Amino acid sequence: MKLDYDLNSYLEKIKKNNSYFHTFINRDSLAAGILVLQPGEEDTQEPHDTDEVYYVISGDGFLKINDKDYPVSKDKLFFVGKDVEHFFHGNSKELKVLYFFGGPDS
């Protein structure tokens, strides 16, 4: 089982794969990944089957959770409960976010 992770390699995979996120840990008890949104890029995620935590590495904008906008900035952390609608939007800079699921990324 892999125990160390280089986020730069996953950022490169995102650039090459025409996707805006990459899950690099996906186990029954935990999933983790990185999300990158360019200014104006749409976050198309749907509600998840497990609780989720987001940690903002860099960028700006908003995270809409249940129709309320929360300002996003470096080093902020957000909790989103399972089955809750949410998405990032309104970023004027590249947004980089680590995400963690309390179960697999389904």
Q: What pLDDT, on the 0 to 100 scale, is given for residue 43?
A: 97
Task: Record the pTM.
Answer: 0.93
Residue 106: the pLDDT is 76
Distance CA 34, CA 100 (A): 9
Domains, the chain, in order of start with CATH, read 7-101 (2.60.120.10)
pLDDT in tens, the chain (106 residues): 789 999 999 999 999 998 999 999 999 999 999 999 999 999 999 999 999 999 999 999 999 999 999 999 999 999 999 999 999 999 999 999 999 999 998 7
